[in-house]
A and B are shown apart, each in its own frame.
Chain A
Amino acid sequence: MLIQEQSRPGRRAVAQAPLYSAEVSDIPAGARRLVPLVLPEVSELQAVRHYTRLSQKNFSIDTHFYPLGSCTMKYNPRACNTLAMLPGLLARHPAAPDSHGQGLLACLFELQEMLKEVTGMHAVSLAPSAGAQGEFAGVAMIRAYHRARNDSARTEILVPDAAHGTNPASAVMCGFVAREIPTGPNGDVDIAALREAVGPQTAGIMLTNPSTVGVFDRSIQEIAGIVHAAGGLLYYDGANLNAILGKVRPGDMGFDVIHMNLHKTFSTPHGGGGPGAGPVGVSKRLEPFLPVPLVVQSGDDYRWVSERERPQSIGRLTAFGGNMGILLRAYVYARMLGREGMKRVSEFSTLNANYLMTRLKAAGFDAAYPQRRASHEFIITMKREARDLGVNAMDFAKRLLDYGFHAPTTYFPLLVPECLLIEPTETETKEELDDFVAALVAIREEARTNPDLVKGAPHTMPVRRLDDVRAARQLDLAWRPSANCT
């Protein structure tokens, strides 16, 4: 039942509002609200019980193994949340003076410095609110760079076909044309096609390495050479930074601009879809274009730098300059890990992925790139199961829910048919991975003996499989009060 449907006129959580109604008669009648405002009228206990119960209908990292490929669903340490919500940090107004923000600014400055070191970039801005906004900022800087050199012919951004959908969408949002580059049979970018595609119209290329097919592109230096020789810049999509943290740095691979997903690699919460944080790092030639605000150190003090001091900046991405509370969580996480802990992130996420891939291959499942080493994630294709048993990747995914596992990413990347993109992360135990293998084996057995059981899954969730077509055709996007409720 919706909270709105539990509402009864006159029932209120009285303690939550000011004790008295203040006088507002000086607001002109013509400006006042006419339609009655209908919000839930429930007791405090009703609200608490309702949302506690709703939470229990979710899978989450805290309750379930969540091997969602490309999303890095690792444990979110509780200390990060507690310390980012300390009163002095939590209650600070965005327009409070720097003198009343030295604690915050010290954390953010040190985070900028650590991110520079771990990515090998020259400078970092923490401003973007999420990965996609980081991409927008990165591509906008590429645009600003070419414009500053009066090179207006560069209208295309190259994007591999395996890339996240945000890559071409961000390029288009910045006014570019997105041109696709195919992936070769071994999972690396098709170099011949890339050579063919570059030219004086190339503004840059957006790459994820390791890529979304779960392998490290071995020809990265060659790719960098080809794109740079054509006058384009290299953009690094940091979605898979977890796989190489402390091992290889995008700056050393030749990338000019990168974004990082702190909600992935630096373990800030995914929160049911956000907030994220998508800082950008740049090489020296792109530094003047970084989005504001930036934190600088002057003497013993720290201060914000805004548009006025950075005339070439691509500007501001949100009104107040970023998801500070998320950046603080990432800072706490980075300090707890330290330099050794960061290396272990990539080492153990890669160990877990390769172990899981090995076990699944041994159990008779098909890896999409069986000859390749897995990065921190890998793809299993259910093409054979779909053909022989009539049970597809989505059926496996839904049945996994009944076994108490969140499903891997399904049907992405689009170039591998019937795929499951599996990312176990470094925080899972060997036992959890073994249980996951056992579940997939058991489901395959069910698919042989009782396929309808799998095709009708899930059976134990709060709802059975939902009618998405109906959802899109008979739009029901908001509850409306019926006549007797108003």
Chain B
Amino acid sequence: MPFVPHTDEDVAAMLGAIGVATIDDLFDEIPRELRIGELAAIPAGMAEMDITRLMQARARADGQPLCFIGAGAYDHHIPAAVWQIASRGEFYSAYTPYQAEASQGTLQLLYEFQSMMTALTALDVSNASLYDGASALAEAVLMAVRANRKTKSNRVLVPRALHPAYRRVLRGIVESQGIEVIEAPFDRQGGQTPAAALDALVGDGGFAAIVINQPNFFGIIEEVDVLTDWAHAQGALAIAVVNPIAMALLKAPGEWGAVGPERGADIACGEAQPLGMPLSSGGPYAGFLCCKKDLVRQMPGRIVGRTLDLEGKPGFTLTLQAREQHIRRGKATSNICTNQGLLVTAATIHLALLGTAGLERVAAACHANTRRLAALLCEIPGVEPRFDRPMFHEQVLRLPAPTADLLRALAAHGVLGGFDLGPDYPDLDPALLVCATELRTEEEMQRYVTTLARVIAARTQAKCPVEPKI
């Protein structure tokens, strides 16, 4: 019996104490006609060695191709210590720290995480994480609409140059509460979101919030100061969606916009995956959410505070719980119950190991590698940069053939060449979003370039989209 420790003697003694003859008698309050027989479609149990064999075969089948895809999830180095410590049973198998005195490890770590995120974003407070970057944005928008008493608007402005999946998640979560999502265009030449184009979208209702993406989905560095000031001039809150690695180099949301009492984005959120989380086909990751201090009571999710115990010694506890569903039920700021505790554990250890200088080096290496990769790829005839403005660590390239065909041919040679923008941006097609993190070597980039050049050349010669032999 896997994981059930009972001996026959235990069972007999326990049933005797309860005063029933069989375990089945314990289910006697369940109407008989509802009881089921065998779970026919579920296979028989497996020993650990057998499931290990199966999983190893399946993991091998997925291979380990060379990855040049970014698009919201990034292949970074994760120090060995990160998951060795995060996988310790004391972190792995603990739960939400309701009993603070017996959970000081998790609570102090969450407080340290909150401190690191406020440092990265230059904002006052952070929560203890949400599911992922996209759902964190949806929560940020709900929060902004609740908090904005100036415009009383239920409209939010979102750049079209924001991750398409983020826009879909956002609509799916907020539209049932009557919130309207309006999309702002990007500049055809530069790829940035021009503030000048926003005035036309204001209409009568104004906006509760404006989402500003740094860098944007195309990797382009947005003019965040102008956009933040534009938001505040409209009476809207500015919501930053930022890459945490980029914060080592780029202006932090707290310092966006002109100097003055309103300075800075009001809320910042994003995906914490680049901070020590394996790609793992898309999850589990963690969303982060930070804000200015006057918005803290509108925040969703767990928040840890430092306080004193009855002897005056400092300690950590969940706080401001009156915002949350287990206290406020239908009037809570969100229905969220979990945070991504284990991922936050990894992120906190990751940031402690990298430190300021380490994070700056990672950010700079990603930037330089992507620039190098793009330059190499653009030596292939027909491949050229799509936008002319500075990028952080991703770049959009125009291609001489349908993107999907080229990607398929590359994948057949063990290279994941990037993210096909065509389906989400037909107006840019054929266009490819590429990324080379600090992990990609010169040799790997050369391999990508050589493979792509051959794939394109073979297509040109054959004039048909069959996969070439290389």
A136 and B173 contact, Cβ closer than 8 Å, known pairs A54-B105, A355-B14, A465-B309: yes
How distant is the Cα of A270 from the Cα of B106 in the complex, in angstroms?
12
A471 and B317 contact, Cβ closer than 8 Å, known pairs A275-B283, A332-B55, A338-B45: yes
* A6 nearest in chain B by CB position: B352
* A350 nearest in chain B by CB position: B26
A169 and B325 contact, Cβ closer than 8 Å, known pairs A54-B108, A60-B90: yes
A478 and B284 contact, Cβ closer than 8 Å, known pairs A94-B279, A336-B51, A350-B26: no
Could you list some 25 contacts between A and B, CB below 8 A?
A: A2-B115, A18-B365, A21-B361, A22-B364, A28-B221, A41-B357, A59-B99, A62-B89, A87-B59, A97-B407, A103-B59, A104-B281, A169-B334, A270-B96, A271-B92, A272-B94, A273-B95, A274-B338, A319-B282, A325-B283, A336-B48, A362-B17, A372-B29, A468-B317, A470-B308
- Of A88, A272, A458, the residue contacting B341 (CB under 8 A) is A272
CB-defined interface of B7-35 with A at 8 Å, one 1/0 digit per residue? 00011011101110001101111110011
- Cβ distance B252 to chain A, nearest Cβ, rounded Å: 6
Are A463 and B58 in touch, CB under 8 angstroms? no
How many A residues have CB within 8 A of the partner chain? 202
How distant is the Cα of A475 from the Cα of B295 in the complex, in angstroms?
13
**B230 close to A (CB within 8 Å):** no
Are A471 and B357 in touch, CB under 8 angstroms? no
- Of A102, A174, A272, the residue contacting B342 (CB under 8 A) is A272
How distant is the Cα of A317 from the Cα of B172 in the complex, in angstroms?
7
Tell me which residues from 315 to 373 in chain A have a Cβ below 8 Å from any Cβ of chain B.
315-326, 332, 334-345, 347-348, 350-352, 354-355, 358-359, 362, 372-373
- Cβ distance B65 to chain A, nearest Cβ, rounded Å: 6
A335 and B43 contact, Cβ closer than 8 Å, known pairs A2-B108, A12-B357: yes
**A165 close to B (CB within 8 Å):** yes
- Of A57, A76, A140, the residue contacting B105 (CB under 8 A) is A57
Are B34 and A319 in touch, CB under 8 angstroms? no
- Which 7 residue pairs of A and B lie closest in terms of their CB atoms, listed nearest first? A320-B282, A338-B45, A62-B89, A271-B342, A103-B58, A94-B282, A273-B341
Are A407 and B99 in touch, CB under 8 angstroms? yes
**B450 close to A (CB within 8 Å):** no
**A4 close to B (CB within 8 Å):** yes
Residues of B within 8 A of A75 (CB): 3
How distant is the Cα of A164 from the Cα of B338 in the complex, in angstroms?
13
Are B95 and A318 in touch, CB under 8 angstroms? no
- Cβ distance A486 to chain B, nearest Cβ, rounded Å: 11
CB-defined interface of B95-137 with A at 8 Å, one 1/0 digit per residue? 1111111111110111110111011101011101101111100
- Cβ distance A257 to chain B, nearest Cβ, rounded Å: 16
How distant is the Cα of A4 from the Cα of B18 in the complex, in angstroms?
54
- Of A28, A76, A216, the residue contacting B92 (CB under 8 A) is A76
How distant is the Cα of A218 from the Cα of B99 in the complex, in angstroms?
33
A315 and B169 contact, Cβ closer than 8 Å, known pairs A93-B279, A350-B23, A471-B305: yes
Residues of B within 8 A of A20 (CB): 361
Residues of B within 8 A of A297 (CB): none
**A200 close to B (CB within 8 Å):** no
What number of A-B contacts does a CB cutoff of 8 Å give?
A: 683
A58 and B10 contact, Cβ closer than 8 Å, known pairs A272-B97, A407-B99: no
- Of B61, B65, B135, B331, the residue contacting A129 (CB under 8 A) is B135
CB-defined interface of A291-306 with B at 8 Å, one 1/0 digit per residue? 0000000000000000
Could you say which interface size class chain B belongs to?
Answer: 35 or more
How distant is the Cα of A74 from the Cα of B4 in the complex, in angstroms?
10
- Cβ distance A370 to chain B, nearest Cβ, rounded Å: 13
Residues of B within 8 A of A99 (CB): 411
**A23 close to B (CB within 8 Å):** yes
Are B45 and A341 in touch, CB under 8 angstroms? yes
Are B132 and A31 in touch, CB under 8 angstroms? no
**A227 close to B (CB within 8 Å):** no
Are B306 and A168 in touch, CB under 8 angstroms? no
A102 and B177 contact, Cβ closer than 8 Å, known pairs A42-B355, A430-B13: no
**A467 close to B (CB within 8 Å):** yes
Are A62 and B90 in touch, CB under 8 angstroms? yes
Residues of A within 8 A of B28 (CB): 373
How distant is the Cα of A190 from the Cα of B201 in the complex, in angstroms?
52
- Cβ distance A258 to chain B, nearest Cβ, rounded Å: 15
- Cβ distance A35 to chain B, nearest Cβ, rounded Å: 5
CB-defined interface of B286-317 with A at 8 Å, one 1/0 digit per residue? 10000001001000001111111111010111
How distant is the Cα of A244 from the Cα of B362 in the complex, in angstroms?
49
CB-defined interface of A129-161 with B at 8 Å, one 1/0 digit per residue? 111110110001001000000000000000000
Pick from B68-76, B144-152, B380-388, B453-461 the stretch touching chain A: B68-76
Are B351 and A73 in touch, CB under 8 angstroms? no
**B39 close to A (CB within 8 Å):** yes
Residue of B24, B39, B87, B165 most packed against chain A (CB within 10 A):
B39
- Cβ distance A476 to chain B, nearest Cβ, rounded Å: 4
Residues of A within 8 A of B339 (CB): 273-274
**B176 close to A (CB within 8 Å):** yes
How distant is the Cα of A142 from the Cα of B351 in the complex, in angstroms?
42
**A124 close to B (CB within 8 Å):** no
Residues of A within 8 A of B447 (CB): none
Are B131 and A129 in touch, CB under 8 angstroms? yes
**A113 close to B (CB within 8 Å):** yes
A89 and B62 contact, Cβ closer than 8 Å, known pairs A168-B329, A274-B341, A338-B46: yes
How distant is the Cα of A58 from the Cα of B316 in the complex, in angstroms?
12
Are A37 and B172 in touch, CB under 8 angstroms? no
**A482 close to B (CB within 8 Å):** no
Residues of B within 8 A of A427 (CB): 3-5
- Cβ distance A358 to chain B, nearest Cβ, rounded Å: 5
**B462 close to A (CB within 8 Å):** no
CB-defined interface of B339-382 with A at 8 Å, one 1/0 digit per residue? 11111110011011111111111111101110100000000000
A467 and B307 contact, Cβ closer than 8 Å, known pairs A94-B73, A272-B96: yes
* B254 nearest in chain A by CB position: A35
Pick from A63-71, A228-236, A381-389, A439-447 the stretch touching chain B: A63-71
**B67 close to A (CB within 8 Å):** yes
**B196 close to A (CB within 8 Å):** no
